[in-house]
């Protein structure tokens, strides 16, 4: 199987287990689940799918010399993401943790075609639920790992924060030391850390995007309250769940959906907010492999450490948002 990826180029995948898993129903569903949830669906952000990212994480750990089980773990790490991705965390009031897909992974995987496929190749599917056993794939924040590196580089292209040359330099500079991913150049590590914060501010924890997430979450919550959608619907694709929401005959829900629009504005308003909402903040502190030692960038560059702490401090807390729809303007 040949797979052409915009980040890693053309890769030949020879392992039968990986070929079959890529074609599985569970993994193919991710083509309809956008990484940016609702903002990807309405055209505010580039429509990068969870499938794109999952294949990317697999290709990255593969490039870094991982075992086949770790490549399987990378391919399946986001398989339990719901329609609209992290919007569902807002529905369930987990704005800051955003861990519903992790909590549901074992339950969801058991209902898919993955257990049978993995069994055919001699694997126990339950061994792929806990991503912590795959250190190239997952590391605690703020360390580098394949998951963070891939979604960052993939989003950087869409956000206009990185050139092809920037991305190539990062990939070429990566090194694995004691099971952890690090960078070898302080300049590249600094670029990575600074640009990661820009991506968070521009998209993942962007004021406008968070507002659109919250509006969509409130519409979904309304659908759940009146019983016209259920949590089972979360495992559909974005487009299918969106169509079902749009077909619900409920004025309150449709008013919320109408505000999920590129024309809607969000204003910081301490005195008269429509709602207050917080979100998960992301800011890495890349490890560097220098002089035979792994050291976080913050210990080598105090200015970076100060900027990182200032960024996280500035974005903390619940933001008071006033929603201005097209009809209000």
Angle at 82 between CA 32 and CA 99, to 5 degrees: 140
pTM: 0.96
Taking the C-alpha atoms of residue 125 and residue 73, their distance in angstroms, rounded to an integer, is: 10
Residue 135 pLDDT > 70 = yes
pLDDT category at 328 given cuts 50, 70, 90 is confident
Q: Are 137 and 73 in contact (CB under 8 A)?
A: yes
Mean pLDDT of the chain: 96
Taking the C-alpha atoms of residue 251 and residue 201, their distance in angstroms, rounded to an integer, is: 34
Residue 220 pLDDT > 80 = yes
Which whole number is the average pLDDT over 217-223? 97
Q: Are 215 and 329 in contact (CB under 8 A)?
A: no
Which whole number is the average pLDDT over 25-45? 95
Bridge partners of 276? 320
Taking the C-alpha atoms of residue 157 and residue 67, their distance in angstroms, rounded to an integer, is: 28
Model pLDDT, residue 145 = 98
Which whole number is the average pLDDT over 296-316? 98
Model pLDDT, residue 327 = 74
Question: Which CATH homologous superfamily contains domain 2-206+281-315?
Answer: Hypothetical protein af1432 (1.10.3210.10)
Which whole number is the average pLDDT over 56-62? 98
| DSSP tag of 201 | I
Angle at 251 between CA 247 and CA 254, to 5 degrees: 50
Run of H or E residues at 288 = strand 287-290
Which whole number is the average pLDDT over 22-27? 98
pLDDT category at 329 given cuts 50, 70, 90 is low
Residue 207 pLDDT > 70 = yes
- Give the pLDDT confidence of 138-167 residue by residue, as tens digits: 999 999 999 999 999 999 998 999 999 999
Model pLDDT, residue 285 = 98
- Give the pLDDT confidence of 99-109 residue by residue, as tens digits: 999 999 999 99
- Give the pLDDT confidence of 253-296 residue by residue, as tens digits: 999 999 999 999 999 999 999 999 999 999 999 999 999 999 99
Percent of the chain with pLDDT over 90: 97
């Amino acid at each position: 199987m040949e797979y052409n990826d915009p980040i890693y180029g053309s890769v030949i995948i020879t392992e039968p287990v990986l070929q079959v898993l890529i074609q599985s129903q569970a993994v193919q569903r991710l083509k309809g689940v956008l990484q940016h949830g609702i903002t990807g669906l309405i055209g505010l952000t580039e429509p990068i799918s969870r499938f794109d990212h999952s294949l990317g994480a697999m290709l990255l750990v593969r490039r870094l010399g991982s075992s086949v089980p770790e490549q399987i773990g990378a391919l399946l790490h986001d398989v339990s993401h719901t329609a609209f991705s992290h919007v569902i965390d807002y529905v369930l009031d987990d704005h800051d943790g955003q861990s519903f897909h992790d909590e549901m992974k074992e339950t969801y995987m058991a209902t898919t075609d993955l257990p049978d496929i993995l069994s055919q190749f001699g694997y126990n599917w339950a061994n792929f639920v806990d991503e912590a056993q795959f250190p190239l794939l997952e590391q605690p924040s703020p360390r580098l790992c394949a998951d963070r590196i891939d979604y960052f580089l993939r989003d950087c292209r869409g956000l206009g924060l990185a050139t092809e040359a920037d991305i190539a330099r990062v990939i070429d500079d990566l090194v694995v030391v004691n099971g952890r991913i690090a960078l070898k150049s302080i300049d590249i590590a600094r670029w990575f850390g600074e640009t990661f914060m820009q991506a968070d501010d521009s998209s993942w924890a962007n004021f406008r995007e968070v507002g659109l997430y919250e509006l969509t979450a409130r519409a979904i919550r309304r659908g759940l309250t009146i019983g016209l959608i259920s949590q089972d619907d979360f495992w559909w694709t974005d487009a299918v769940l969106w169509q079902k929401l749009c077909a619900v005959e409920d004025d309150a829900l449709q008013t919320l959906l109408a505000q999920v629009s590129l024309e809607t504005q969000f204003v910081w308003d301490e005195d008269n907010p429509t709602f207050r909402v917080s979100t998960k903040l992301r800011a890495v502190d890349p490890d560097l492999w220098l002089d035979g030692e792994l050291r976080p960038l913050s210990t080598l560059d105090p200015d970076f450490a100060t900027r990182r702490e200032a960024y996280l401090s500035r974005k903390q807390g619940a933001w008071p948002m006033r929603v201005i729809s097209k009809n209000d303007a």
